[in-house]
Structure 1
């Protein structure tokens, strides 16, 4: 797979070099202390090639990815890693599908579903409020939600208004990290 994508100019070809992505996601697992926890049910939004979920699965967690089916490389990686994925696009004000279970953790790393193209505008509190209410439907009691944001068009992760919104909802907000350690406060 690495050789096949080595000369590719496709945006996602960099993920064929799996070693750095496995290292990064091992650190993510450790940062969330999932390497030392009892088995959890984890939903990863925008799972990409499934690196994070692959590591969790090896540690005994039950995993499910959710992402669009845009990059053939990601489908190949998910197959190699034996990580299940629901193909779905996250859109503002649209609920996620019925996933058939509740999750102890809902994660999302390096997301871009919160960006409007081509107007280059971030989701505001209304869009995030809808998503958080919807995610609550999929969250087990005492479940946790973690978002690792991508920088926006101007290089910031969120507006001051959005930072305040996340804080009011009970999140610990630090740079790109939005962590609802005790669920969402409505």
Structure 2
């Protein structure tokens, strides 16, 4: 009888350890990480306005999600003495090596590799019929807002892009967008803008070509 109790206790211990290891794995992975939404404010653009301000507009398919990158954005310290001591506030040059002059915020983004199906605008120029892409141009790198840290998931407003997703992207010259209004997912050939207006993807591409 004592032997049976010992076996039962041993099996219970092994089961408990197994559950603990599994729980630890799930917490360490993204499944149970606390998730928050990336918050940013952008100008409220129409599609026509976006087509003009964007350096790149492409219809493409997500090939892969890359690593999350932390970027420092330097800002002048709100120090009245610094400003008043400068000859002209508008021409005051910051010295980024001097901690007393600058501060910074950390911004997270994730590199998204997008295979271009149809180029619409590339490097500020119309990419209409007959436009030929170089090998380097056949993939565009989009810097998606947010990402994963060791203890947290930060998702962009409008949701993440995942491998296989088709999308119409509007980006600036460094690959950043203007929030969800400039990241339009294509589902079964249909696209919805920020107002919920539905377009056929080819119809929207044609309209954007006219707007540029």
Query: Higher relative CO (CA 8 A, sep ≥ 6), structure 1 or 2?
Result: 2
**Structure-1-length-normalised TM-score:** 0.24
Q: Which has the higher strand share?
A: 2
